[in-house]
């Protein structure tokens, strides 16, 4: 892993709760259970992705994690192979306020990918990131290095905890939530981070996934 330079400063990350020794064992135990239970779903999705568009089943992308360290995040591929090359030309069409790009009608998304994103199934391989220790089940969504480079100072507090597959932003509306509000939600989580809050977020994640609110 590498560290984003000239962006992260340890003094900005004082919000992290001092006692979260339970978090890593919790992530490992629940992550292994999820992987075992959903392994047939992984197989079905892999076959669908492979049969319906050219390219690999998994898509790896550099993201920024705790303390500004970068890592490769894994998703089921939901876009065509030229998606990264076409990103710059679509930035002006973002349907979300702020730094992070989101488009409801992104032409780079495959038909199967649109369905996967609607149900957040494209994010299932991030379980491997959790098991590797790059991510947690619950935490702020990991951002692109280019996005973090444009962060205002307050937003850097998002980097005080491990990024997560789900979090307060996801269960509050996902892409319908603007950047500034997302930052406040993530800072609130970083300052609390209790087991009770984690359990509430996990429970609400099922509702958020099935409702599809803000998923695109």
Domain ranges across the chain: 20-210
| pLDDT digit string, tens, across residues 162-190 | 999 999 888 887 767 888 999 999 998 98
| pLDDT digit string, tens, across residues 5-60 | 344 444 344 444 545 789 999 999 999 999 999 999 999 999 999 999 999 999 99
Output the pLDDT for position 13. Answer: 41
Structure tokens at 36: 């075992």
The residues, ordered by sequence, that sit 6+ positions from 47 with a Cβ below 8 Å of its Cβ are none
pTM for this entry: 0.80
- Pairing mode, strands 69-76 and 58-64: antiparallel
| pLDDT digit string, tens, across residues 106-153 | 888 899 999 998 888 999 999 999 999 999 999 999 999 999 999 999
């Amino acid at each position: 892993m590498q560290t984003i330079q000239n962006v992260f400063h340890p003094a900005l990350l004082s919000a992290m709760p001092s006692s979260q020794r339970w978090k890593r064992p919790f992530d490992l135990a629940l992550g292994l259970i999820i992987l075992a239970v959903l392994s047939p779903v992984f197989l079905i999705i892999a076959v669908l992705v492979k049969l319906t568009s050219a390219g690999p089943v998994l898509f790896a992308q550099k993201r920024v994690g705790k303390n500004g360290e970068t890592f490769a995040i894994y998703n089921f591929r939901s876009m065509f192979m030229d998606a990264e090359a076409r990103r710059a030309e679509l930035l002006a069409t973002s349907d979300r306020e702020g730094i992070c790009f989101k488009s409801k009608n992104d032409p780079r998304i495959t038909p199967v990918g649109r369905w996967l994103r609607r149900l957040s199934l494209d994010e299932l391989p991030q379980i491997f990131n959790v098991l590797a220790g790059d991510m947690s089940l619950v935490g702020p969504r990991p951002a692109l290095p280019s996005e973090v480079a444009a962060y205002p100072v307050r937003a850097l507090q998002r980097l005080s905890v491990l990024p997560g597959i789900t979090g307060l932003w996801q269960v509050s509306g996902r892409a319908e939530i603007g950047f500034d509000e997302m930052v406040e939600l993530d800072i609130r989580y970083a300052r609390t981070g209790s087991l009770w809050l984690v359990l509430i977020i996990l429970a609400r994640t099922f509702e958020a996934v099935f409702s599809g609110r803000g998923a695109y």
